[in-house]
Amino acid sequence: MKRDINLKSPRQHTAQEERTLKMLYIIAISSLVSVLVLSIVLFIITWQTRPDTLLQQEALVTQSLGGVNDKTVKLVFTKQRVSYIQQIIAQRALLNDHITQLEKQIPQDISLDAVTLNKYTLSLGLSSSSLFALQTFEANLTRAVSEKQFLRNVTFSTFSANPQDSSYQVLLTAQLL
């Protein structure tokens, strides 16, 4: 069988092929060089970015802070404690203020028999021989509610008269502002 059927030998290259081959070699070698250079550059940058110096500085500052440990702890805890104190003061019930406000509403002829007071509600038991005084008291409370002084609302639950000592008793509950 005749093997060399092609007229042109495969080992012979045209000028075009030579140029392509040359170009391919140039591209391949320059790519390799680029990759190697890039790799070395990246390695150097990474090496330089290592935070060794920072860590050393950190260790020094931490050591210095260790020297003022007691002061640091006191400062932090003082700050925390002040914050809690602010919260407590802000949330405290102001019962004495409420009592002062209440005293202003009660005329002299009325005696206060019973008081139940907390942050939100007020219950009172009052007695008086003067209906006029009780009316004044009721008017005062009505004004306190309408002017939103310290009361949200007032409910008179009981009004009774005691013929034995000619006095009147009033029981009321109120919601505080």
Partner 1 sequence: MKKKQLLEQSIFLYLYRKYKLYLPPVGLLLLCVLLFFGAILPQFRALIKAREQAAKEQKKLAILEQNLQTVTQYDNTSLNSSYETTSQALPVEKDFIGVLSAITRSANTAGVLIGDYSLAIGNLGQEPAGEMEKDSSSLQLSLVVEGSLAKVKVFIAQLQKQFPLADITSLNGTTNTFTVTILFFYRPFTAKSVDITTPIQLLSTQELHLIRQLTDQQSSLFDVPSPTLVPSPSVSVSPTPVGQ
Residues 99-158 close enough to bind partner 1 by CB under 8 A: 99-100, 103, 111-119, 125
Using CB under 8 A, which residues numbered 63 to 82 contact partner 1? 64-66, 68-82
- 14 near partner 1 (CB under 8 A): no
Determine phi and psi for 54, rounding to 5 degrees. -60, -40
Q: 46: buried, middle or exposed (CB in 10 Å: 19+, 13-18, 0-12)? A: exposed
Nearest to 177 by CA among 116, 89, 93, 104: 93
The nearest distance, CB 42 to partner 1, in angstroms, is: 4
The nearest distance, CB 74 to partner 1, in angstroms, is: 5
Using CB under 8 A, which residues numbered 21 to 60 contact partner 1? 21, 24-25, 27-29, 31-32, 34-36, 38-39, 42-43, 45-46, 49-51, 54-55, 57-59
Q: Which is nearer to partner 1, 70 or 146 (CB)?
A: 70
* 3-state helix/strand/coil string of 139-152: HHHHHHHHCCCCEE
Q: Is 125 helix (H, G, I), strand (E, B) or coil?
A: strand
> Residue count at the site for partner 1 (CB under 8 A)?
75
Q: In whole angstroms, what is the distance from residue 50 CA to residue 48 CA? A: 6
